[in-house]
Amino acid sequence: YISPNLRTRHSGANFAPLEKLEGVITPNGLHFERHHAGVPQVDPKACRLAIHGMVERPLVFTLEDLKRFPSVTRTYFIERAGNGQNGYRNPPDPNLTATRSRGLASNASWTGVPLALLLKEAGVKPGAKRFIPEGMDAAMYTRSLPLEKAMEDVLVAYAQNGGYPFNRLVSEPFPITPDTEPVEYAIGNYWQYPTTLFDYIRRAMPFGQAGTLTDEEVYHLVAFLLYMNGIIDASTPVNQATLPKIRMPARELLHLDPETQRRFPWLTLP
């Protein structure tokens, strides 16, 4: 959701639709975002976490390294410092919703490694008082925090809300197996019929205005997603006649497991 009160629709603020949510956990796709200098493109296989400075052993961790440490899951409420500023207009906006006035706040379940554990591995030197977490944000918004805070409850998180099966729209066109990581589930390897994808997009998109796309727009979006997943090539026409004939890589998942008589018995779906 982009607030109409912002000066441009490219301000980098995405609001959580508070008045439309149920429960206390914000779904991944509806969590608020604030980007000051674009969205960094992070390759999980290439990214590294470095701990250096006043430590005995400067360390560099890959994502796989972090996952080898004991993990914890905690629920954290996150709020942007500027949340609520839309509610202080003079005169007040009579159409102000909860989203537009307080939507830069979300609550999610995060899984990762306590920073205190990593700092103990590095060996913090006596005299160290504060630390600076720095990411890939091009704006370089960094603030130092007391070292006591790091030892208390700071989490180096690598999963949000347990990692939803449909985190990605694009993935390699292979069927899921017992060894497939949940983050690899995608349209191309999980859904068995392209017509199901068409129906979902037509009923659920775009967010906040579901059902407003024309059939032609839906076909175009389906074609793009199938192409990006390597299921069709750029010259394949996608329309009412051709879409049902496209074979999805996950079609074989329709076969029942001979022992459990379930389609994919190793999965626990939400």
What pLDDT score does 30 carry? 84
- pTM for the model stands at 0.57
pLDDT of residue 4: 43
The β-bridge relationship of strands 130-131 and 33-34 is unpaired
Tell me the average confidence (pLDDT) per consecutive run of 10 residues in the chain, 270 residues long.
40 79 83 75 83 94 92 90 75 78 90 93 95 76 83 89 51 53 59 81 74 90 86 91 87 62 48
Q: What is the pLDDT of residue 68?
A: 92
Per the omega criterion (within 30 degrees of 0), is the bond before 206 cis? yes
CB 198 within 8 A of CB 191: no
Chain centroid, CA 151 distance in Å: 27
